[in-house]
């Protein structure tokens, strides 16, 4: 009796095991197919969005930490532009990095817009609440030096701007008249609120050292009461 019951129960157990394994295999197949569809789907994260968390350089972190610790940013959100890497880093008012993005820069290397045309000047720039219009994007000012940022595409976009923005070569991003240009998607998600509120932009140098441009970093008594100026006085110019 025992042998007959065991003999009939064994095939049933084997069937359940085979069925369970088949279901597991089919589930794994569906998961693989879902991943493949996700990679090709238009709603999947774009290549640009995948780069929004690129790690900042030591100089970017140093300036951001200094801006918050000394209250140089005045409790406002701010951006740090790393010209050597052609990237813009967006920080909230508390100094937490929100995201970063490739950015188009002035065609000519340098830190002083008065030295030659098409230079993105280095220094600390302030945007006053409500001063930027939709056409101008965001405008930051340091004395007579001006840095304007635009979302692409726009009437201000350089030729083949989107292709250059997607390039992995920093030199391909040196194309503008000195103004900054980022993707429209990044602008809308992270920067558009700055157009109607106060903010600060710190543009890192590429010829001079960071401490030459932001000289107050060496002053422990500085509590945001003075600002770092561009290396030399620059001639006025309209935001482009």
Q: What HEC string does the chain produce?
A: CHHHHHHHHHHHHHHHHHHHHHHHHHHHHHHHHHHHHHHHCCCCCCHHHHCCCCCCCHHHHHHHHHHHHCCCCCCCCEEEEECCCCEEEEECCCCCEEEEEECEEECCCCCCCCCCCCCCCCEEEEECCCCCCCCCCEEEEECCEEEEEEEECCCCCCCCHHHHHHCCCHHHHEEECCCEEEEHHHHHHHHHHHHHCCEEEEECCCCCCHHHHCHHHHCCCCCCCCCCCCCCCCCCCCCC
Mean residue pLDDT of the chain comes to 75
Greater model confidence, 129 or 40: 129
Is pTM beyond 0.85? Reply is no
Greater model confidence, 184 or 135: 184
User: What digits encode the pLDDT tens for the residues 81-91?
Assistant: 999 999 999 99
User: What digits encode the pLDDT tens for the residues 119-169?
Assistant: 999 999 998 655 555 566 899 999 889 999 999 987 887 778 788 898 899
pLDDT, residue 209, reads 94
Residue 63 has pLDDT above 50, yes or no: yes
Supply the CATH classification number for the domain 48-218: 2.40.440.10
- The CA-based angle 133-125-72, given to 5 degrees, is 125
Domain boundaries, the chain: 2-44, 48-218
Residue 40 has pLDDT above 70, yes or no: no
- pLDDT (mean) for 167-183: 93
pLDDT, residue 11, reads 58
Whole-number Å distance between alpha carbons of 220 and 186: 35
């Amino acid at each position: 009796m025992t042998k007959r019951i065991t003999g009939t129960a064994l095939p049933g157990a084997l069937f359940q095991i085979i069925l369970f394994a088949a279901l597991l295999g089919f589930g794994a197949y569906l998961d693989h197919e879902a991943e493949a569809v996700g990679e090709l789907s238009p709603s999947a994260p774009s290549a640009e969005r995948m780069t929004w968390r690129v790690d900042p350089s030591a100089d970017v972190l140093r300036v951001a930490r200094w801006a918050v610790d000394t209250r140089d940013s005045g409790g406002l959100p701010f951006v740090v532009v790393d010209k050597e890497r052609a990237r813009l880093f967006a920080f909230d008012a508390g100094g937490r990095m929100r995201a970063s993005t490739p950015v188009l820069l002035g065609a000519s290397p340098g830190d002083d817009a008065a030295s030659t045309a098409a230079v993105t000047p280095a220094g600390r720039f302030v945007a006053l609440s409500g001063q930027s219009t939709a056409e101008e994007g965001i405008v930051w000012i340091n004395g007579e030096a001006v840095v304007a940022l635009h979302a692409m595409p726009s009437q201000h976009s350089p030729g083949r701007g989107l292709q250059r923005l997607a390039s992995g070569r920093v030199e391909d991003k040196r194309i503008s008249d000195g103004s900054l240009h980022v993707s429209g998607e990044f602008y809308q998600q992270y920067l558009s609120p700055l157009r109607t509120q106060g903010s600060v932009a710190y543009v890192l140098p590429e010829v001079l050292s960071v401490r030459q441009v932001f000289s107050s970093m060496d002053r422990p008594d500085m509590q945001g009461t003075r600002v770092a100026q561009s290396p030399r006085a620059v001639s006025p110019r309209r935001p482009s």
